[in-house]
Structure 1
């Protein structure tokens, strides 16, 4: 009986949290413009340009400073078995601009 009461209380709390989240989400005023984030200390003018003004990958590549595929590849780390990289591993390293190499206990003598 005690377990049933706890489950009922937990279900009521979950329902209450869901109700509060729904009310808060629906009560938002989307008509007002949001203030721009960031510091205005020492600013003499209001910036009017967007970070990405061109549609598609060209604008993204301008921001990233590299093609999207290369920028994503730099997020990954790779590892290799043994005490040193073998020829296939060296070829993989040369073929892509990986973010780094992970050395583990198996790589150390």
Structure 2
């Protein structure tokens, strides 16, 4: 699920020399070097990063500090990665965490 982003950078930082390209479900995403995966996805307009095991309902980053585990994603085949705790890296493949 991708929507127009309502998340914006307060400092307006968009220096192209500090950009990192990674992939969300095969789609190219540009983020700032030093962004977490969760922050980069929110800025890109991605609102759901996983589904629940019982009902398959959409979940998204919530606390942004590693406490709630709502931002779990799959990174290069590794499941249950907390997106708010992992920095974006060039070329990583990030997918929605499915159960």
TM-score by length of 1: 0.16
Q: Whose helix fraction is larger, Structure 1's or Structure 2's? A: 1
Q: Whose strand fraction is larger, Structure 1's or Structure 2's? A: 2
Q: Which has the higher contact order (CA 8 A, sep 6+)?
A: 2
TM-score by length of 2: 0.17
